[in-house]
Amino acid sequence: MTASAGGVALVTGASRGIGAAIALRAARAGYAVLVNYSADSAGAASIVQEIRDDGGTALAHQADVSDPEAVGSMFDQAATLGAVTAVINNAGITGNLIGNLSDVPPATVRRVMDVNVSGLIYVCQEAVRRLSTATGGPGGSIVNISSTATKAGSPGTWAHYAASKGAVDVLTVGLASEVAAQGIRVNCVAPGSTNTGLHAAAGMPDRVERLNPTIPMGRGAEPDEVAAAVLWLLSRDAGYITGAVVPVAGGR
């Protein structure tokens, strides 16, 4: 396989939801795409096939981002498509529960932090090693996916998850300054309530609908609307933007 003129985009957690929408949009924008997944091989294969059916180039690759060795292998696989120039840190979990912080089991807290914080850091570290112009890399862009849950802290639902996403915002700002002179831009998209399977997996499939009255635009986002913001941040039109946290939340 050969990479497209847009280089290679590595998208973590891309087998469904927002990650899948980002992978599809990246392919339409001219990137070859590495579709990362943790467990949903069928979902990842479906996204890869959709990209290929549309004339694009894509590979699926299983890796748990909380394992730094697996992250390195994931980047090696992406490099078989060409030079990686875009890294989208989308992989994230809630622990599949909704409730008060005092009721969240320690094992769930550890797993959420391992994936959402440590995993994101491992991917960012590897991305800098590969992209930095200071070490011969091509430069490029990292976009992290956070959440507007960081604004209110998600009391009574996902306070642990909101805390993990607060770390994503802070890391984005710090890393952006650290690597700005190395040809790498680092930004963040913070979706609000979005129509994905995340809520159903946690036992509240109607959560987005319930939140609609609290959203000025009166509805939740569609995954492709979040993906559009990500692709804009990757584009030359956003070439002077780094360290930004962009809300995609309908005004909430």
Point out the least confidently predicted range of 16-25, 61-70, 151-160. 151-160
Examine the pLDDT at 1 and tell me if it is beyond 50. no
Q: Is residue 156 part of a domain?
A: yes
pLDDT tier, 3 (very low <50, low <70, confident <90, very high otherwise): very low
Q: Is residue 124 part of a domain?
A: yes
Q: Is residue 1 part of a domain?
A: no
Q: Is residue 158 part of a domain?
A: yes
Q: Which domain holds residue 91?
A: 8-246
Q: Is residue 3 part of a domain?
A: no
- The C-alpha torsion from 188 through 192 and 195 to 196, rounded to 10°, is 50
Provide the annotated active-site residues: 161
The DSSP code sequence of the chain is ----TT-EEEETT-SSHHHHHHHHHHHHTT-EEEEEESS-HHHHHHHHHHHHHTT--EEEEE--TT-HHHHHHHHHHHHTTS-EEEEEE------S--S-GGGS-HHHHHHHHIIIIIIHHHHHHHHHHHH-GGGT---EEEEEE--THHHH--TTT-HHHHHHHHHHHHHHHHHHHHHGGGTEEEEEEEE-SB-STHHHHTT-TTHHHHHGGGSTTSSPBPHHHHHHHHHHHHSGGGTT--S-EEEESTT-
pLDDT tier, 246 (very low <50, low <70, confident <90, very high otherwise): very high
Q: Is residue 97 part of a domain?
A: yes
Dump pLDDT digits (tens) for 30-83: 999 999 999 999 999 999 999 999 999 999 999 999 999 999 999 999 999 999
Examine the pLDDT at 134 and tell me if it is beyond 50. yes
Q: Is residue 100 part of a domain?
A: yes
86 or 6, which is more confident: 86
Mean pLDDT value of segment 80-95: 97
Examine the pLDDT at 233 and tell me if it is beyond 50. yes
Q: Which pLDDT does position 200 carry in this prediction?
A: 63
Q: Which pLDDT does position 196 carry in this prediction?
A: 76
Q: Is residue 210 part of a domain?
A: yes
Share of the chain above pLDDT 70, in %: 94
Dump pLDDT digits (tens) for 108-123: 999 999 999 999 999 9
pLDDT tier, 250 (very low <50, low <70, confident <90, very high otherwise): confident
84 or 195, which is more confident: 84
Number of domains observed in the structure of the chain: 1
Q: Which pLDDT does position 2 carry in this prediction?
A: 40
Q: What is the mean pLDDT of the chain?
A: 93
**Which CATH number do you get for residue 229?**
3.40.50.720
Q: Which pLDDT does position 98 carry in this prediction?
A: 86
pTM of the model: 0.93
